[in-house]
Chain A
Amino acid sequence: DAKTTQPNSMESNEEEPVHLPCNHSTISGTDYIHWYRQLPSQGPEYVIHGLTSNVNNRMASLAIAEDRKSSTLILHRATLRDAAVYYCIPITGNQFYFGTGTSLTVIP
Chain B
Amino acid sequence: DGGITQSPKYLFRKEGQNVTLSCEQNLNHDAMYWYRQDPGQGLRLIYYSQIVNDFQKGDIAEGYSVSREKKESFPLTVTSAQKNPTAFYLCASSISARGIYGYTFGSGTRLTVV
Contacts and interface: CB of A to CB of B under 8 A. Distances in A.
Interface stretch (A10-18, A39-47, A69-77): A39-47
Contacts of A43: 4, 6, 90, 92, 105-108
A42 B42 contact: no
Contacts of B40: 100
Nearest to B108: A43
Given A44-B90, A100-B41, A91 B110 contact: no
Interface residues of B, number: 28
A47 B20 CA distance: 30
The prevalent SS among residues of A at the interface is: loop
Interface string B82-114: 000000101010100111101111111010000
A97 B42 contact: yes
B98 A94 contact: yes
B45 A99 contact: no
Contacts of B35: 98
Contacts of B94: 94
Contact of A98 (B43, B50, B88): B43
Given A43-B90, A44-B43, 12 more contacts: A32-B100, A36-B103, A42-B108, A43-B106, A46-B103, A49-B100, A92-B100, A94-B98, A95-B45, A95-B99, A96-B103, A99-B42
